[in-house]
Structure 1
Amino acid sequence: MADGDQAAVEDFLARVEPAERQADGRIAVAMMARLSGEPPRMWGPSIIGFGRYHYRYDSGREGESCRVGFSPRKAELVLYLAGLEDADFTPLGKHRRGKGCLYIKRLAQVDMAVLESLIVRSLAHMDRTYPR
């Protein structure tokens, strides 16, 4: 990772509020970096992502995005994960879901081993769908 990428991630995390969300963001960075084998980098002003892939829709629209990522928003941590439509989220603990998003108020409220398994599953989906 370029030094600028690391500095940008650290600068962003240093400004995250509340302090608990900042701490959860640092835990998420360490966990996603370890699981993905990729360094963190900023994707836009508020998403920390790991790895990259190129996508192209049937409409012809295309671009690049991170393979997995998260945003430590003020109200909750938002994780961007794919390929989990049929996953059992029950053992995770307190959360809510959207299409491709997992919302967690506090990491202390979820089972970290279950969260790790969901991230690993998402990364495997990305490897199958968008081979490197």
Structure 2
Amino acid sequence: MAKNKTIVTENSVMDFINSYVADDQKKIDSFELIHLMEKWTGFPAKMWGPSIIGFGSYSYKYASGHEGTAPILAFSPRKAAFSLYVYSPSDENTLLLDELGKYKLAKACIYVKKLSDIQLSTLELVCKATIAYITQHNECACRT
């Protein structure tokens, strides 16, 4: 079975942002996302792999037998846009996306160019709905 590449590391989140993120506004937005996601999850920011900033963790297992650990919420300040790993397939989240603002959606990721393009209050609701979904469907540190 393939081993997960995206695992929690001891690398510094601050060092990553300060060395990887060149755009000043993206740095400001990154620090704001850290503040918000720490508040919403109750977990400190940690590096997952070389470029994802995650908060908390949960264990999952697919019907195929593949299993692993993933952050409850996460983001990556990629060059083109932020990749927000905050979306779960719940009815509540589907409805909330109409109010989020300017974004693109992939299977499990919301892409946002800058935080001013979205409603942060709606992002909070999406994140909290995702935390609830993960808590209900997976083994999760967010249960404590």
Q: Normalized against structure 1, the TM-score is what?
A: 0.89
- Aligned pair count reads 128
Deviations 1:18-66 (A, max 9, x none): 1211111111100000000011100000000011111222222221111
1:62-114 alpha-carbon deviations (Å, 9 max, x no partner): 21111110001011111112424532212111111011101111101111101
Q: Return the letter of the residue paired with 2:68.
A: G
1:98 paired residue number: 106
Structure 2 unpaired stretches of 5+: 1-8
Unaligned runs of 5+ in 1: none
Cα pair 1:82 1:126 within 8 Å, conserved:
no
Contact 1:94–1:110 under 8 Å retained in 2: yes
Other structure's SS at 1:74 match: coil
Identity %: 35
Q: Please report the TM-score for the alignment, with normalisation by the length of structure 2.
A: 0.82
Q: What secondary structure does 2:12 align onto?
A: helix
> Is 1:28 aligned to 2:27, yes or no?
no
Corresponding position of 2:47: 42
CA distance in 1 between partners of 2:89 and 2:77 (Å): 21
In 1: Cα distance, 2:136 partner to 2:90 partner: 15
Equivalent runs, 1:101-116 vs 2, <5 Å: 101-116=109-124
Q: Which segments of structure 1 move beyond 4 Å, counting only runs of 4 or more?
A: none
1:73 aligns with 2:98: no
CA-atom RMSD in angstroms: 1.6
Show the counterpart of 2:3: none
